[in-house]
Amino acid sequence: MHIILYGAPGVGKGTQAKILSHIYHIPHISTGDILRENIKNQTPLGVKAKQFMDGGNLVPDDVMIGMIKAIISSDRCKSGFILDGFPRTVAQAEALNIILCDLHINDYRVINFIVPEDVIISRLSDRYVCVKCGKIYNYSIDKFKAGDKCFKCGGNIYQRDDDKPETVKKRLSVYHTSTEPVKQYYTTTGRLTNIDGLGTIDEITLRLLTALQKKKN
């Protein structure tokens, strides 16, 4: 199975990707993880990406596309994959389509999570992360906040700049400008399925599995 999870920051793509990965036994491919992995291993693309990032610039499409192509062409993804965080632009979507065609992958589906913007801002502003192990906490549920210690590894918990309310609003603005047109691209190609992203994690997973089963049939 080949799945692309799509939607604004904070809609729950990462959470559902991990669940689907466990259910279908296929890898969860997060662009953030891929980027960090390539930089850590000092691959040619990782070195190139780091040069852009160190200069305060966005990693260009050709570098990200190269990383995506390398991983989905590998044995790791021979049984399928779940893409999370890519594509972010129509140009990336078009490049990805060419890669998938070259790999004879024609059955991929795009799942779009629909969540109101005020809920997204509330969700992300409530999120804190362990600097050491990356575990995510939600203050409203876990009561962990910046400066507390992670119960899993003892690392410091902090709030990423990306999750502060003013930054979240800017991220959503960028999404509407650059990333939302991807939704229209996949709607036109008939591959987009909309999912209600409100509710418990289990409720959303059930909707997701139902939609994927329908498409599979």
How does pLDDT run across 72-120, given as a tens digit for each residue? 999 999 999 999 989 988 999 999 999 999 999 998 999 999 999 999 9
**Is residue 192 included in any domain, yes or no?**
yes
Residue 112 lies in a domain: yes
pLDDT at 215 (0 to 100): 61
Record the tokens describing residue 200, joined without a space: 């418990």
pLDDT recorded at residue 216 = 56
* Residue 132 lies inside a defined structural domain of this protein: no
Q: Is 171 a catalytic residue?
A: yes
- Reply yes or no on whether 76 is catalytic: no
109 is catalytic: no
Q: Which listed residue (88, 109, 123, 207) is catalytic?
A: 88
Q: Which amino acid is at 102?
A: D
| pLDDT computed for residue 165 by the predictor | 82
Question: Which tokens belong to 158?
Answer: 């902090």
* Residue 161 resides in a domain: no
Q: Which of 78, 145, 149, 160 is catalytic?
A: 160
- pLDDT at residue 135, rounded to an integer: 87
**pLDDT > 90 in the chain, percent:** 52
Q: What is the CATH classification number for the domain harbouring 45? A: 3.40.50.300
With respect to residue 128, please indicate whether it lies within any of the assigned structural domains. Answer: no
Is 170 labeled as catalytic in the residue annotation? Answer: no
* Average pLDDT, integer, range 131-136: 88
pLDDT tens digits, residue range 23-76?
999 999 988 888 888 888 999 988 988 888 777 677 888 888 999 999 999 999
Q: Does residue 190 lie in a domain region? A: yes
Between CA 70 and CA 25 the distance in angstroms is 20
- Is residue 164 domain-resident? no
Residue range 52-65, pLDDT digits in tens:
877 767 788 888 89
| 92 assigned to some structural domain | yes
**Residue-range definition of the domain harbouring residue 27:** 2-116+171-216
HSE-CB for 209 with a 13 A CA cutoff: 13
- Residue 143: exposure state from Cβ atoms within 10 A (0-12, 13-18, ≥19): exposed
Query: Whole-model pTM?
Result: 0.81
**36 annotated active-site:** no
Give how many domains the chain has, as a whole number.
Answer: 1
Whole-number average pLDDT of the chain? 89
* Predicted pLDDT of residue 157: 94
Residue the block writes with tokens 């939607």 = 7
